[in-house]
Amino acid sequence: MTGEIEDRCACGAFAFAPVTNPKRSCYRELRVLPPFRCLFRVRFAEVDAQGIVFNSRYGEFTDLVVGEFCCAVFDAERGQDTIDMRLVKQTTQWRSPARYDDVLEASAWTSAVGNASFTIRTEFRREGDEQLLVDVETVYVAMQRDGSAKRSLREDERARLEASARGVCVDLAGPRGRKR
């Protein structure tokens, strides 16, 4: 008999462990689903004369990634099943530059969920490279549909945010291997 055990990893991610022998947990193989990922290409207008991405563009990149993340988390386009949210705080830490025509891989996940607010972490790397270029922590608050006031998160919204659309990859980068 084969089953599946759900655990939380140290990073807060969900891990799924297929159980080959449910009577002996030491035989299980742990498989952690990767975080939500979004791939996109750095365009010419996003870089300076040296071909390095302007620091301010990472706010826009984060907005793009969080938009795709929310579509994946709530399995919807804009509509009744999405959260109306406002940005409260965004902290960016730059570590290494991205350059023109790089394909960036942004990983995003929910790192905290409060009563009305939630925090999304976003990390940027070059596709296929482990070096962290930039990491961003963004705090959002859920809003009433008419935008008049903040509101509490519903339990279903909280559960979806905590699951973080793990294993989903959105590729906006276009074809690879082209010459500059």
Is pTM beyond 0.85? Reply is no
Report d(CA 22, CA 29) in Å as an integer.
11
Question: pLDDT of 83-111, one tens digit each?
Answer: 889 999 999 999 999 999 999 999 999 99
pLDDT tens digits, one per residue of 12-32? 344 443 334 344 343 344 457
pLDDT over threshold 60, residue 69: yes
First to last CA, the chain: 54
What domains can be seen in the chain, in order of their start residue?
Answer: 1-33 (no CATH), 35-171 (3.10.129.10)
Q: Which H helix or E strand runs over 158?
A: helix 155-163
134 CB burial (10 A radius; 0-12, 13-18, 19+): buried
